Structure 1
Amino acid sequence: MSAAPIHPVDEVLPLRRLLPFGLQHVLVMAASPITAAFLVSRALDLPTAVTVDLISATFLVCGIGTLLQSFGPLGIGAKLPFIMVPGGAPIVLFVTIARQTDLATATGAVILTGLFYLLALPVFRRCLRFFPRLVVGTMLILVSVNLIAIYGGIITGRPGTPGFGDPGNLGLAIATILLTVLFVRLLPGMFGQLAVLLGLLAGAAIALVTGAMNLGGVFDGPLLGLPTPFPFGMPHFNLVAALPLVLFSIISMAEATSQTVAISEAVGREGDARKTVPHTILGDAVASLLGGCLGTSLIITSGENIGIVQATRVRSRYVTAVAGAMLVLIAFLAPLGRLANAIPAPVVGGTAIIVFAIIGVMGVELLRKVELKDNRNLFIVAVALAFGLLPILVPGLFGKFPPMAQIILGNGLAMGTLSAVVFNILFHHLGRREAPSPAETLPLPAAEANHAD
Structure 2
Amino acid sequence: MFRASDASAATAAPATAAADPECAVDALLPWPQLLLFGLQHVLVMAAVPITSVFLVAKALGLSADLTVNLISATFLMCGLGTLLQSFGPWKFGARLPFVMVPGGAPIVMFLTIAQQRDLQTAAGAVIITAVFYFLVLPVFSRCLRFFPKIVIGTLLMLVSINLVKVYGGIIAGKPGTPTFGDPVNIGLALATIAFTVLFARVFRGMLGQLSVLLGLVAGTLLAAACGLMDLGAVAQGPAWSAPTLLPFGMPHFDLVAALPLLIFSVISMVEATGQTIAVAEVVGRKIDPRDVVPRTIRGDAIVSLAGGLFGTSMIITSGENIGIVRATNVRSRYVTAAAGVILVLIALSAPLGRLANAIPAAVVGGTAMVVFAIIGTIGIDILRKVDLHERSNMFILASALTMGLLPIVVPGLYVKFPPTLQLVLGNGLAMGALTAIVLNILFNHLSPARKDVRGDAAATEHAPLAR
TM-score, with length taken from structure 1: 0.96
- Per the TM alignment, residue 43 of structure 1 is displaced from its structure 2 partner at its CA by 1.2
SS in 2 for 1:300: strand
How far apart, CA to CA, are the structure 1 residues paired with 2:398 and 2:457?
A: 18
CA deviation digits over 1:223-242, x for unaligned, max 9? 01110111111001111111
1:97–1:105 CA contact under 8 A, matched in 2: yes
CA RMSD of aligned residues (A): 1.4
SS at match of 1:220: coil
CA distance in 1, matches of 2:423, 2:275: 21
**Cα deviation, residue 8, structure 1:** 1.1
Q: How far apart in 1 are the matches of 2:459 and 2:135? A: 26
Residues matched between the structures, number: 445
> 1:309 and 1:408, CA in 2 relative to 1: closer, same or farther beyond 3 A?
same
Q: Given the alignment, which residue of 301, 319, 343 partners 2:335? A: 319
Amino acid in structure 1 at the alignment position of 2:424: I
Q: Is the 8 A contact 1:134 1:439 kept in 2?
A: no
Distance 1:122 1:200 in 2: 42
Deviates more, 1:269-278 or 1:366-375: 269-278
Equivalent in 12, 15, 21 of residue 28 of structure 2:
12
Structure (1 or 2) with the greater helix fraction:
2
Pair 1:271-2:287 in alignment:
yes
Does residue 46 of the first structure (1) align with residue 65 of the second (2)?
Answer: no
| Residue number in structure 2 paired with 1:444 | 463
- The 1-side partners of 2:463 and 2:364 are apart by 36
Is contact 1:10-1:316 (8 Å) kept? yes
Report SS of the residue matched to 1:277: helix
Amino acid corresponding to residue 116 of structure 1 in structure 2: F
Q: Does 1:155 align with 2:174?
A: no
Whole-angstrom CA distance in 2 between matches of 1:441 and 1:296 = 42
Gaps of at least 5 residues in structure 1 are: 449-453
1:97 aligned residue (84, 101, 113): 113
Match of 1:21 in 2: 37
How far 1:435 moved relative to its partner?
A: 2.9
Q: How does 1:119-130 map to 2 (within 5 A)?
A: 119-130=135-146
Percent of paired sites with the same residue: 65
Q: Is the CA contact 2:154–2:433 (under 8 Å) kept in the aligned structure 1?
A: yes
| Match of residue 148 from structure 2 | 132
1:27-66 residue pairs with structure 2 within 5 A? 27-66=43-82
Distance change >3 Å, CA 216–CA 255, structure 1 → 2 = same
CA contact (8 A) 1:129 1:441 kept: no
Cα distance change on mapping 1:447 and 1:304 into 2, 3 Å = closer
Secondary structure of 1:7's partner? helix
Deviates more, 1:402-411 or 1:434-443: 434-443
Instruction: Give yes or no for contact 1:69–1:77 (8 Å, CA) kept in 2.
Output: yes
Structure 1 contact 244–407 (Cα < 8 Å) conserved? yes
Question: Which residue identity lines up with residue 401 of structure 1 in the other structure?
Answer: F
**Counterparts of 1:210 and 1:401 in 2: how far apart (Å)?**
47
Q: Give structure 2 stretches of 5+ with no counterpart.
A: 4-19
Deviation at 1:306, TM superposition (A): 1.3
Which residue matches 1:186?
A: 202
- In structure 2, what is the Cα distance between the partners aligned to 1:446 and 1:103? 42
CA contact (8 A) 1:83 1:305 kept: yes
Q: Could you list the structure 1 runs, at least 4 aligned residues long, displaced by more than 6 angstroms after superposition.
A: none
**1:3-402 correspondence to structure 2 within 5 Å:** 7-402=23-418
Quote the Cα distance in structure 1 between the aligned partners of 2:276 and 2:314.
18
How far did 1:333 drift? 0.1
Deviations 1:359-389 (A, max 9, x none): 0000000000000000100000000000000
In structure 2, the partner of 1:435 is 453
